[in-house]
Structure 1
Amino acid sequence: MLWPHAKSVLKAIVSPLLDATGVYDRRIEEVSVREDRWTILMYHRVVLDDRADPFRLGMCVRRDRFEAQIRYLKSRFNLIGVGEAVRRLTQGRPLPSRAVSVTFDDGYLDNLEVALPVLESHQVPWTLFVPTGGLATGEPLWWDRVIHAFACTSRSWIDAQAIGLPRLRRRLSLAPWYRRRSVEQVLEALWSLPMAEIESAVLRLERALAPRVRLMPLAHRLRPADVRELHRRGVEIGAHTVKHPNLCLTDRDQLRDEMLDSRRELEALCGSPVEGFAYPGGRMNQAVKEAAHEAGFSYALATISAVNHLPCDAYELCRIGMPDAELPDFKRALSATMVRGDGTLHSIA
């Protein structure tokens, strides 16, 4: 359980030393200069206080680090919106050299309040994928409820089977050094369930971990007016289903409804077509890909950590998740994925 902390210390020491030699910049230059590459980056939240991510699950990037990352990207790459890039490729037009796209998933309020000013100041186009279920009421996303319950409880353990997660060992420790691992295990187990079972399990988990003894606000979502404001200010809005389920576990009718209902609501909200889709949690298979095509989306994004090699599959676009890291370690992570990553080779059509 000490390894994540030791790893962070090593990165804080080693990455700056290597970055000072220019090794990361050289790696990035060698890969990005090739004209058949398109890199898509993925963020979720940009926050002012790192307590928003109590278990360091990788959902949040602090504002100062985010701005340093965006400044670096702006200096090294040609930043292009995903929708614009797909239109160019579909029309047989080339992308700019060193093409990079910035995306956000899930539609948190800090996307508007914290991330947008940074991106606007550097004139960076970006795409936001929004789940529509509970958008009007501000209902928390299901995984945020799980994180909040674990962060606020004083319990020392939880019975995983009692909350409906039989695949996990019965007793999960909530001791400080083990709590993060238990949260990760519970979230991964929940992703293996259909949406109705997730909802029931989350309710049971919240009851099992009550009462709350620590104060921590739930992650706030965008409201409909916020989505409209982002669209008005030039942000491309994409669909991200209604309830954010594992689409591989839905039947054909549910799959269609999750895609079409979210698309229709966002189109009505923004008054313009919604062309793009992001698979929740990146979970997809051939049937899910085909459903995205049949639903009329022009493209769909996965979470395969790789650079897209052109020509590429418009319904399995790879994305690299960005870390909450100082610039040297950001460059290390980006260069490592760009060097080793290899997108799926299919034609865009």
Structure 2
Amino acid sequence: MSTRYSVLRMGFAMIAATQANRWLGPFAQGRGLILMLHHVRPRVQRDFAPNGILEVTPDFLDQALGILARSHDFVALDDIPGRLRESGKRPFVAVTFDDGYRDNAEFALPVLQRHRAPWTLFVTPGFADRSATLWWLELEEAIRRLDRLEIEEKGAEPLSFNLPARSAAEKAAAFDQLYWQLRGGTEERLRAVVADLAQRTGVDGAQMVDDLCLDWDGLRALAAEEGVSIGAHTMTHPMLAKHSLQMVRAEMHQSRATIARELGMDVRHFAYPVGDPGSAGPREFEAAAEAGFEIAVTTRPGHVFAEHIQHLRALPRVSLNGAFQSGAAVRALASGVPFLLWNRGRHLNVG
């Protein structure tokens, strides 16, 4: 586990030991929080799993929802504007999932139904119709198959890597270095480098999407379940802030229209892919409003406060992170205390 995650783990333990969630909670807690999840599936032990932060077990999801139900009301995204305008109610929790994975229907749905928790699945049509790629998973699988990571890219965005990748620790270090360097450049370079690595190592990206993601028939069946709503997550999962406004608008409008056509429902809500400040900012927030989305969520960490009523297309979320599957972590996140420092005491982070 990285140093950052070790520090966070110690922080959650310290909050629990000092009961800081009780005495700081009243200052830190917002009107509610929006949970962000991706995969829910049984644990598989893997020494090298850099994307493991994106998955939790069904048992942990059950535990987390049970803890939250004691102090929070489960609500749908549609209910959030009304809850922000009202004071004096218990804090709320809205549950969201990104991308559209098969395990959401197989493992998450029964847990959510047992807790009577409504939830929103943000769908990427390119995953449903098998035209988009899960590049971050392709990168992981490519490095898993390599003993050495060698890349030599020249041109406008030169890239040079020659790193050992024999052990799990070496693979993790290589992944981390390459991932963040690619994230700092253009998306065109990122996808080209990952595609080349996948081809060199025999990673079948199309098969990966087919194995992991719901198709349209699966999404229709899931959308018919009680408590499930469907939102949009762009057509191809790009980091929108790295692209032209024309492309941003096309990704938003086309994803909304495609989902509406395929599933026969109005699509009112949106999640920005990757969703950090480098992927979604004020330009994207305005575009989401222009596209007709009532609510749009980021991955910026934090609670939802009354002031967010003026920023419904820039809502923060709280990640149920696969690295912190404990009751102490859930109670700390629900208290809002970890976000006091992260957001420097600010309620809003919408710039």
Q: TM-score, normalised by structure 2?
A: 0.82
Aligned mate of 1:225, from 217, 224, 227: 217
Distance in 2 between the 1:59 and 1:163 partners? 32
CA shift at 1:180, angstroms? 1.5
Q: Equivalent residue for 1:305?
A: 301
Larger RCO (CA under 8 A, 6+ residues apart): 2
Q: Equivalent residue for 1:58?
A: 53
Residue deviations 1:311-339 (CA, integer Å, cap 9, x gap): 21111101111122121233234443354
CA shift at 1:300, angstroms? 1.1
Aligned mate of 2:347, from 330, 334, 343: 343
Q: Equivalent residue for 2:147?
A: 156
Distance in 2 between the 1:210 and 1:247 partners? 29
Q: Equivalent residue for 1:78?
A: 73
Distance in 2 between the 1:28 and 1:118 partners? 30
5+ residue gaps, structure 2: none
Opposite residue 299 of structure 2, the aligned amino acid is: T
Percent identity for Structure 1 against Structure 2: 26
Aligned mate of 2:91, from 92, 95, 98: 98
Q: Equivalent residue for 2:130?
A: 137
Alpha-carbon distance change, 251 to 23 in structure 1, aligned in 2, over 3 angstroms: same
Q: Equivalent residue for 2:327?
A: 327
Distance in 1 between the 2:67 and 2:328 partners? 11
Opposite residue 73 of structure 1, the aligned amino acid is: L
Q: Give SS of 2:299's match.
A: coil
Taking the TM superposition and a 5 Å limit, the aligned residue runs for 1:113-262 are: 113-137=106-130, 140-151=133-144, 153=145, 155-162=146-153, 169-176=160-167, 177-210=169-202, 220-233=212-225, 234-262=227-255
CA shift at 1:257, angstroms? 1.0
Alpha-carbon distance change, 170 to 28 in structure 1, aligned in 2, over 3 angstroms: same
Residue deviations 1:22-77 (CA, integer Å, cap 9, x gap): 71552575357x6x622112111111123488235410111211211111111221
CA shift at 1:113, angstroms? 0.5
**8 A contact 1:157–1:173 mirrored in 2:** yes
Residues 1:274 and 2:270 are matched in the alignment: no
Q: Equivalent residue for 1:47?
A: 41
Q: Equivalent residue for 1:314?
A: 312
**8 A contact 1:133–1:243 mirrored in 2:** yes
**8 A contact 2:127–2:209 mirrored in 1:** no
Opposite residue 40 of structure 1, the aligned amino acid is: I
CA shift at 1:111, angstroms? 0.7
Alpha-carbon distance change, 320 to 18 in structure 1, aligned in 2, over 3 angstroms: closer
What's the Cα RMSD here?
3.3
Alpha-carbon distance change, 228 to 67 in structure 1, aligned in 2, over 3 angstroms: same
Q: Equivalent residue for 2:100?
A: 107
Aligned mate of 2:31, from 13, 34, 37: 37
Q: TM-score, normalised by structure 1?
A: 0.82
**8 A contact 1:38–1:310 mirrored in 2:** no
Distance in 2 between the 1:79 and 1:28 partners? 23
Opposite residue 39 of structure 2, the aligned amino acid is: R
Opposite residue 126 of structure 1, the aligned amino acid is: W
**8 A contact 1:145–1:218 mirrored in 2:** no
Distance in 1 between the 2:283 and 2:12 partners? 41
Q: Give SS of 2:307's match.
A: coil
**Larger deviation, residues 136-145 vs 291-300:** 136-145
**8 A contact 2:15–2:21 mirrored in 1:** no
**8 A contact 2:233–2:271 mirrored in 1:** yes
Alpha-carbon distance change, 78 to 338 in structure 1, aligned in 2, over 3 angstroms: farther
Alpha-carbon distance change, 192 to 263 in structure 1, aligned in 2, over 3 angstroms: farther
Distance in 2 between the 1:184 and 1:61 partners? 21
Alpha-carbon distance change, 337 to 211 in structure 1, aligned in 2, over 3 angstroms: closer
Q: Equivalent residue for 2:63?
A: 68
**Larger deviation, residues 323-332 vs 52-61:** 52-61
**8 A contact 1:45–1:111 mirrored in 2:** yes
